[in-house]
Amino acid sequence: MTDEPLRKGEQTQARILDAAYDLFMAQGYHGTSMRQIAERAGLTSGGVYTHFAGKEDIWKAVLFDRHPYHTILPALRATEGDSAEAFLRNAAQRLVGELSKHKDLLHIMFIELVEFNGAHVPALYERIMPEAAPLLDVVQSNASALRDISPPLLARSFLGFFFAYFITEAMMPPTLRAMMGDDALDAFIDIYLHGVLTDGAARDELQEASCEGRIAMGDDLAQ
């Protein structure tokens, strides 16, 4: 019997978060009132305050509950590959696949960044990092084929690169996406793994040309 009030409380909190989420997505944070949240959840304002200290407390709960790290991290931890390249390729496909299921993520992060200036992002990272730690073990198992890059920097580059793919894919006009073909993600992965230059000789040539260009510009300025 002692568990029954807790279960009812959790159900009520879930109703409040569902109502708040719908309103925040439609009206933004500042455009939504506690009264509206209470009415949408079928509660009095006092009933909402029983579970949350205020509207910002509700937003934090929505941010933490609706952020897709809950499904992304388990998907990444389950990634397999018989080589470092295969592992990273499969991990990138899993990441983009999970992100594509959460079209609301851009809206959620837009509200957080614009209306709160990212104030709750550090707390979000504190929740994510303990669950992300096992990924380091997976990365270390493939470390022999990777450049000597610190795991945090490697994780940042990986997540940043493919989150950028997700954002541009969501914002790009369909006609432009069609021009890139059906294998745009594969091409993106290849760029991440191998860069945009063809080989070491080409990189040397470009670096030499860039150096010569800077020298010539310096001569022009000197004259």
Domains in the chain (CATH in brackets) are 3-62 (1.10.10.60), 69-171 (no CATH)
Whether the Cβ atoms of residue 10 and residue 18 lie closer than 8 Å to each other: no
Whether the Cβ atoms of residue 48 and residue 38 lie closer than 8 Å to each other: yes
Could you read off the pLDDT of 175-188 as tens digits, one per residue? 988 888 888 999 99
Q: What is the pLDDT confidence band of residue 213, given thresholds at 50, 70 and 90?
A: low
Mean pLDDT of all residues in 42-71: 95
What whole-number distance in Å separates Cα of residue 56 and Cα of residue 62? 10
> What is the per-residue pLDDT for 200?
59
Could you read off the pLDDT of 133-175 as tens digits, one per residue? 777 776 667 667 788 888 788 888 999 999 999 999 988 998 9
pTM of the model: 0.77
What whole-number distance in Å separates Cα of residue 91 and Cα of residue 138? 11
Q: What CA–CA distances, in Å, run from 63 to 41, 51, 111, 116?
A: 18, 16, 10, 12
> What is the per-residue pLDDT for 196?
85
> What is the per-residue pLDDT for 129?
84
Mean pLDDT of all residues in 216-220: 54
